[in-house]
Chain A
Amino acid sequence: QITLKESGPTLVKPTQTLTLTCTVSGFSLSSSGVGVGWIRQPPGKALEWLALIYYNDHKIYRPSLDSRLTIAKDTSKNQVVLTVTSVDPMDTGTYFCVYYTNFGWFDPWGQGTLVTVS
């Protein structure tokens, strides 16, 4: 069974760097075709895809946030880390990590973690 669980701070001050960790189980981050991504949802707004890292360490980012995002994985720890620099209140929302294969959809999702920038 594939599971993902997010962890990180619940409150971050503006201009700081947000670091979120996704701990996965049920698969290896180095398995061919596998990817892990991050998606967020600000309160009352749409889902917003942020970043994706593939099994071969290829990374893609949301173009409008590319300069502020970094995604990395530690296969030995079964973890994927997302950093968001220079946060501001618009970065407030629930952040989800998601499992991805080359079929184009995200399934399953982690439970999500609420981050407030204030």
Chain B
Amino acid sequence: YILTQPPSVSVAPGQTARITCGGDNIETETVNWYQRKPGQAPVLVVSDNSDRRSGIPERFSGSKSGNTATLTISRVETGDVADYHCQVWDSSSDPVVFGGGTKLTVL
């Protein structure tokens, strides 16, 4: 099972970043999103498609439509600079699958 993410997304401060994660029949999967800031361990930001985790700003939201899951970051700040990874638990191949990761750049 393959999850496809764009390698990079660039936005200006205050704008909205949308990071996509595509996969066959992803509508049947539960998608989780992780944020990895430089030099730090990944942090779970959105679980179960759209549940924002405790302590994560309301600017972060998750959604799914068709074959694509999306992590949306509103009012982007320089502190949001990180790599973002989507993940599903898939029983058809590798039990745990990660997307390739997307580097968010704030211009």
Contacts and interface: CB of A to CB of B under 8 A. Distances in A.
User: How large, as a class, is the contact surface on chain B?
Assistant: 20 to 34
Given A49-B95, A104-B30, A105-B47, A111 B41 contact: yes
Interface residues of A, number: 22
Nearest to B85: A47
Contacts of B60: none
Given A104-B30, A105-B47, A107-B53, A96 B95 contact: no
Given A96-B41, A103-B47, A104-B32, A63 B98 contact: no
B32 A47 contact: no
Given A47-B98, A49-B94, A105 B41 contact: no
B79 to A, nearest CB: 19
A93 interface: no
A49 B30 CA distance: 16
A74 B34 CA distance: 28
Interface of B: 30, 32, 34, 41-44, 47-48, 53, 85, 87-89, 93-101
